[in-house]
DNA sequence: CTCCATGTTTAGAA
DNA sequence: CTTCTAAACATGGA
């Protein structure tokens, strides 16, 4: 479920399990659709005999430096995830990459739908520049958030999800932040007063932090997320949750808590 | 069979 | 230039 909080949880998992262990073999099981701008042999050559050194996250990208000097950049599409396995652990379905360690354990990258991409990068800043990513959403404080929204005229939900405005917010967490701020997703950014924008920033920040703290499981029952379904009762007012189409995606709202 | 799903990219319209 | 829409990409679950 990879938006910013999910990717941050993957990053911590990689840190806790896979740093400074020599990759004895890098297995590329997928065809050309997975590796981004790098051949399987080049990718293997940069990984094999090397180790993950330190990780960084920018938006929905997870990067790790290697002692070969390169960085690996993981993007998870809609269904990707990373998991470290012990020698005896069963493998999940749809494994596309496996980084084998000498003790028989391995770090696997799995992706059911083939929308994820993995590649090499010079550095995190370089990747962000190439991809045109805005600052990481969690790195924005109030004034920086205002600066990113300055002059924008689009609707608030697509703006939050625009990776060049800020990186990391997707469909689910934009819905959650807007719900908790009491903002309708189709409100135009330019009609929001400064206090409203700051409120949104504070709420978004808290939502992302909380989701990471609970490792994206067991969400508070007064959040929209566990009730993100057409006709479900709103956890705050008891009204009915509705599904709208906003920029081609489903947006869930409580019309009473989030007036248009 | 139909519709839906946490993402990105592209083309074209306004 | 910005913004919006639709379609495409792959696959599986309801």
In terms of pTM, does the model score above 0.95? Answer: yes
* Smallest CA–C1' distance to C7, residue: A248
Strand B contact set, beta carbon < 7 A: A 1-3, 6, 59-60, 75, 77-79, 113, 115, 131, 161, 163, 170-172, 243, 248-250
Active site residue A60: yes
The active-site residue out of A11, A21, A57, A60 is A60
Q: Which helix (H) or strand (E) holds A245?
A: strand A242-246
* C-alpha distances out from residue A90 to A28, A29, A84, A144, A164, Å: 18, 17, 11, 45, 39
Strand C contact set, beta carbon < 7 A: A 33, 94, 112-115, 152-155, 158-159, 188-189, 245-248
Q: Which helix (H) or strand (E) holds A156?
A: helix A156-161
> What tens-digit pLDDT sequence spans chain A (260 residues)?
699 999 999 999 999 999 999 999 999 997 657 999 899 999 999 999 999 999 999 999 999 999 989 999 999 999 999 999 999 999 999 999 999 999 999 999 999 887 899 999 999 999 999 999 999 999 999 999 999 999 999 999 999 999 999 999 999 999 999 999 999 999 999 999 999 999 999 999 999 999 999 999 999 999 999 999 999 999 999 999 999 999 899 999 999 999 98
Exposure letters A222-237 (e unless 16+ CB within 10 A, then b): ebbbebbeeebebbbe
Q: CA of A60 and C1' of B7: distance in angstroms?
A: 10
What is the rounded distance in angstroms from the CA atom of residue A257 to the CA atom of residue A260?
10
- Contact assessment for residue A224 and residue A179, using Cβ atoms and an 8 Å cutoff: yes
Nucleotide nearest to A151 (CA to C1'): C2
Q: Which helix (H) or strand (E) holds A75?
A: strand A71-75
Return all residues near A141 (Cβ < 8 A) that are at least 6 apart: A201
């Amino acid at each position: 479920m990879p938006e910013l909080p999910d990717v941050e949880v993957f990053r911590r998992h990689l840190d806790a399990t896979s740093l400074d262990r020599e990759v004895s073999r890098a297995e590329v099981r997928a065809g050309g659709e997975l590796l981004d701008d790098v051949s399987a042999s080049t990718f293997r050559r940069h990984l094999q005999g090397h180790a993950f050194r330190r990780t960084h996250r920018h938006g929905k990208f997870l990067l790790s430096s290697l002692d070969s000097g390169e960085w690996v950049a993981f993007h998870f599409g809609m269904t990707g995830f990373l998991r470290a396995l012990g020698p005896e652990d069963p493998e999940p379905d749809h494994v596309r990459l496996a980084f084998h360690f000498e003790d028989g354990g391995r770090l696997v990258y799995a992706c059911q739908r083939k929308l994820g991409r993995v590649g090499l990068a010079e550095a995190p800043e370089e990747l962000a520049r190439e991809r045109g990513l805005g600052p990481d959403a969690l790195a924005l404080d109030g004034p920086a958030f205002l600066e990113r929204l300055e002059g924008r005229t689009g609707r608030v939900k697509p703006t939050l999800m625009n990776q060049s405005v800020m990186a990391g917010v997707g469909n689910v967490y934009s819905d959650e932040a807007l719900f908790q701020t009491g903002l309708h997703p189709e409100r135009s950014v330019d009609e929001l007063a400064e206090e409203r924008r700051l409120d949104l920033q504070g709420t978004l920040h808290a939502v992302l932090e909380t989701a990471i703290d609970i490792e994206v499981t067991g969400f508070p029952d007064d959040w929209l997320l566990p009730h993100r379904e057409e006709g479900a009762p709103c956890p705050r007012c008891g009204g009915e949750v509705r599904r709208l189409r906003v920029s081609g995606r489903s947006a869930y709202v409580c019309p009473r808590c989030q007036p248009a």
